[in-house]
């Protein structure tokens, strides 16, 4: 049986506007192409995990994330998530025993991500609204989920990452 760690809210870090509008639009267009290429997010995820060198924004994003978080990275893996108005993702973590930091970069203003926190006796949910260009980082074993955004006709695009950081 796996133990689930519930983190305090302080382990959730938010950074606003890590990308300029032109770069966000370029990434959103690329995400739209990925969405149209694959039938679902799972197929896109597996393709990206096996084709990290084909991700056109990787080096630039790693440099931006390094500056914001003051981390040194041994490895970063990116993938795209896309959600139709009815899509959701159940509570989960990214704890694979290899990574120690996760992140989400929002490419639009559609939907929300919910994080299950620990305050001792209670388990409040911290909700982070999507905001184009915002990045949120959190420990790999922090539970989070996505509910349907119910905005018919709109897609929600996020660029996610798992990474291994090392001490500065």
Q: Which two tokens stand for residue 58?
A: 């990787």
Tell me the fold of 9-166: Jelly Rolls (2.60.120)
Give residue-wise pLDDT tens across range 120-158.
Answer: 677 888 899 999 999 998 888 888 999 999 999 999 999
Q: Rounded to an integer, what distance in angstroms lies between the CA atom of residue 128 and that of residue 113?
A: 5
Longest Cα separation, the chain: 46
Over residues 95-128, the pLDDT tens digits come to: 888 878 899 999 999 999 999 886 667 788 889 9
Segment 26-58, tens digit of pLDDT: 999 999 999 899 988 889 989 998 999 888 999
- Give the start-to-end residue ranges of the domains of the chain: 9-166
Does position 1 have pLDDT exceeding 50, yes or no? no
76 CA to centre of own chain: 12
- Asked whether residue 3 carries a pLDDT value surpassing 60, the answer given is no
Instruction: Report the distance separating Cα 148 and Cα 87, nearest Å.
Output: 5
């Amino acid at each position: 049986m796996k133990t689930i760690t519930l983190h305090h809210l302080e382990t959730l870090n938010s950074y606003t506007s890590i990308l300029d509008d032109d770069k966000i639009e370029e990434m959103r267009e690329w995400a739209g192409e990925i969405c149209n290429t694959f039938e679902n997010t799972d197929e896109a995820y597996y393709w990206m995990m096996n084709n990290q060198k084909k991700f056109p924004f990787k080096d630039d994003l790693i440099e931006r994330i390094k500056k914001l978080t003051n981390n040194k990275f041994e490895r970063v893996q990116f993938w795209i998530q896309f959600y139709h108005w009815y899509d959701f993702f159940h509570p989960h973590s990214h704890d694979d025993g290899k990574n120690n930091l996760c992140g989400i970069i929002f490419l639009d203003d559609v939907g929300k991500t919910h994080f299950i926190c620990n305050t001792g006796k209670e388990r409040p949910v911290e909700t982070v609204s999507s905001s184009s260009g915002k990045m949120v980082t959190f420990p790999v074993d922090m539970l989070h989920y996505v509910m349907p955004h119910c905005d018919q006709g709109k897609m929600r695009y996020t660029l996610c990452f798992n990474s291994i950081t090392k001490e500065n």
